[in-house]
Structure 1
Amino acid sequence: MKEVGILQLMEKITKGTVKVAVIGLGYVGLPMAVEMARAGYDVYGVDSDPVKVAKLLQGQSYIIDIDDDALEGLIGQRLHPVTDIKVLEHSDIVVICVPTPLTDDHQPDTSYIETAIDQAIPHLRKQTLLILESTTYPGTTEELIRPVIEQRRGWTVGQDFYVCFSPERVDPGSVHFNIRNTPKVIGGCTPDCLAAGVAFYGSFLEQMVPVSSTTVAEAAKLFENTFRSVNIGMVNELTAACEKIGINIWEVLDAAATKPFGYMPFYPGPGIGGSLYSGRSAVFVMEIRAAWA
């Protein structure tokens, strides 16, 4: 028989009465918070930058995928931008969307995640579902989130609180894919954690992709990023080679793209970047392989 706590959480999710806190209102967190608010949830958008919060309170967006009109009717009604993390005391679900860059030594910088967890722990209440969306190395959730909360609060995951990892898949500026129609990968620390995460995201997103663990979900995201990084790097190298021998790279790519299997087109550009490892996921893969060897 399931614990009373998970049944109560699932009932709140089913009824749409859970209150949600999104920590980090960048290009990942703000669109997610807006989508949750559109779905009818009461959402606290938590960010340490008072300038961002002030702009949102004035109905002004600073994210390419969210225009000012998207905020109209949400700010102050369903979406509440704040700097005070104490709102977690009133939240049933906490979603962490903070940056995870690499250090100057090409090592994973999880300091934003650790700070978010450290600040959140005193304000978490029992039966809270915590979901990490930040791109990170496989094992982060089980190393930096689950045991820290268990030790500091004396709780047991899957009974007193629930933890999932569900990697962001934002494609900034895309006219085809958005939060709602992009399949959502998710893994939980326990079956009840996963069930709660799937129920919540599944209530407003079109397709859920549950996996067996948080580590699998973390690794899947890293594979996605590395695939993109490697292929963009390759096509940029190919562009230089085509120019040298006097042929048009665009004609080459258009011809290659006609193959209906085993090929995905990538195009020349400045490379990849952003706050999530600055496009250097391949470095992380080497670190992981060494750690697992």
Structure 2
Amino acid sequence: MPADLAVIGLGHLGLPLAQAATAASIPTVGYDTDARIVAELRAGRLPPEGADGFTAGLIRRMVSAGFRATTEDAELGRVRTAVICAPTRLGEDRALDLGAVVAAARALAARLRPHTTVILESAVYPGTTEDLLRPLLESGSGLRAGQDFHLAYSPSRLDPGNRHHGLANTPKVIGGLTPACTEAAAAFYGRICEKVVRARGPREAEAVKVLETNYRHVNIALANEMAVFCHDIGVDLWDVLRCAETKPFGFQAFRPGPGVGGHGVPIDPNYLSYKGRSLGYPLRMVELAQEVNGRMPRYVIQRCATLLNEHGKSARGARILLLGVSYKADIGDQEGSPAREIASRLIEMGALLSYHDPYAAQWRVMGQPVPRADCLYEAAAAADLTVLLQHHRTYDLQGLAVKAQLLLDTRGASPTGAAHRL
């Protein structure tokens, strides 16, 4: 049966979309240039870098329901809707790397047919859909966006591990090149989402992603600065947060931590790499947030060294157990997790590291495997310092606090007085 939808890019964005579409009885083909990912999906197995919350059983159900994964771009010319879910990450120059979006656009353009609806979901700068994607599609296909085919942008709002909000019950923002483009995209998403929100255009929809992502980073940065400030003056930040979040208006609680990870990187439109120019000024708040959050791994190291020193031990030669190496609780995704930087710095200081994470059977830092603790409580009892970096539900912090010689809780998840908290 010919596919109705092509999902381009089968990573953390594309795979959940393909699953939701397949579950909604939309014939779906998934396109990816990585033959290894496609081979695993075809075999009913979860790729090593698959989306969180997915299991091999779920992949097999998708395949049995008609989902097909392919590396053949010819498949892209047989669908009515194509959604680009290519990954975009910050490069060393802090500019988003749009190379995967460009590659996806070129592959699609060569096969694009009239009346197809093309939607971009990747995190991009405002203007990317019109100024980068549109020319690539038009020049490669000979078709005109808004006349011969529909073009729109819809920011992804996936929250890995969220048990209450998924793709279906999270409102979907859509901004089309023309009103007809917006309605074509809305007709597609209306088949898998409960609510569709229409933006004025693609630039507004793209800016929604910038605002939502930066909102998270800026507010976490404020919480992180408060954590350092409160520790220095002897104030229990976690009690402050408990009280502050009772305010029924004008306040939303964000919690500090050892750093900020995840795929939603802070976006500063000052770095418009695809145009080779900048606005001439940065989003100062975003820069400051990045600076504050980027300091947190070093602050955690400082707290570790201080705690060890207060108990007559040095970081050099100390046995340190790290708990939770993913960027978010109850998932295995390590994208941007501060655990790796913290581990690297501890190793450089001469510490003897081990780790435990129910979602990571293996973990490598600086090219070397880190020993995994098989018996959590025995490992905590043997370690000079245990550091909670991510609070997975399986961790009994009350029990760990009893067993551990020293416990540093960077998430404020332990009972009051049971551990040293960030």
TM-score > 0.5 by shorter chain? yes
Does structure 1 residue 19 correspond to structure 2 residue 4?
yes
Shift of 1:147: 2.4
Match of 2:208 in 1: 220
Partner of residue 26, structure 2: 41
1:57 touches 1:76 (CA, 8 Å); kept in 2? no
1:1-293 mapped onto 2 (5 Å cutoff): 19-61=4-46, 62-276=50-264, 279-281=265-267, 284-287=268-271, 291=279
- State how far apart, in whole Å, the 2-side matches of 1:200 and 1:110 are: 25
Q: Secondary structure at the match of 2:29?
A: strand
Residues 266/188 of structure 1: CA separation in 2 closer, same or farther (3 Å cut): same
Q: Secondary structure at the match of 2:61?
A: coil
Which structure 1 segments of 5+ residues have no match?
A: 1-16
Distance 1:72 1:91 in 2: 23
Structure of greater Rg: 2
Residue 273 of structure 1, CA deviation: 2.8
Give the Å deviation of 1:224.
0.5
After superposition, give the CA deviation of every residue in 1:175-199 in whole Å (9 maximum; x if it has no partner).
Answer: 1111111110010001111110001
Q: Percent identity?
A: 39
1:287 Cα deviation (Å)? 4.2
Alignment size in residue pairs: 273
Query: Does the aligned pair in 1 maintain the 2:111–2:141 contact within 8 Å?
Result: no
Q: How far apart, CA to CA, are the structure 2 residues paired with 1:88 and 1:45?
A: 9
SS at match of 2:62: coil
Counterpart position of 1:5 = none
Partner-residue secondary structure (3-state), 1:172: coil
Structure 2 Cα separation of the partners of residues 186 and 131 of structure 1: 9
SS at match of 1:291: coil
TM-score of the aligned structures, taking structure 2 as reference length:
0.62
Q: Distance in 1 between matches of 2:231 and 2:263?
A: 32
Tell whether the 8 Å contact from 1:18 to 1:93 is kept in structure 2 after alignment.
no
Q: Which sections of structure 2, spanning at least 5 residues, go unmatched? A: 282-422
Deviation at 1:286, TM superposition (A): 4.1
User: CA shift at 1:120, angstroms?
Assistant: 1.5
Q: State whether residues 94 and 128 of structure 1, in contact with CA within 8 Å, keep that contact through their aligned partners in structure 2.
A: yes
Amino acid at match of 1:188: G
1:280 maps to a residue whose letter is P
C-alpha separation between the residues in 2 aligned to 1:202 and 1:254? 39
Q: Which has the higher contact order (CA 8 A, sep 6+)?
A: 1
Work out the CA distance in 1 between the residues paired with 2:75 and 2:278: 40
Q: What displacement does 1:18 show?
A: 6.5
Question: What is the Cα deviation at residue 212 of structure 1?
Answer: 0.9
- 1:233, distance to aligned residue in structure 2 (A): 1.2
Q: Which moved more, 1:192-201 or 1:247-256?
A: 247-256
Amino acid across the alignment from 1:97: C
Q: Take 1:149 and 1:72, find their aligned partners in 2: how far apart are those partners?
A: 33
Conservation of the 8 A alpha-carbon contact between 2:118 and 2:151 = yes
Normalization by structure 1: what TM-score? 0.87
Output the CA distance in 2 between the equivalents of 1:266 and 1:29: 28
| TM-aligned CA deviation for residue 275 of structure 1 | 4.1
The residue identity in structure 1 corresponding to 2:55 is: D
State the distance in 2 between where 1:158 and 1:220 align: 22
Deviation of residue 63 (structure 1)?
2.2
Name the SS of the counterpart of 1:174 in structure 2: coil
Aligned residues of 1:129 and 1:197 also touching (Cα < 8 A): yes
SS, match of residue 221 in structure 2: helix
**Deviation (angstroms), 1:249:** 1.7
Counterpart of 1:242, as a letter, is C
8 Å Cα contact 1:233/1:271 also seen in 2: no
Question: Counterpart of 2:141 in structure 1: which amino acid?
Answer: R
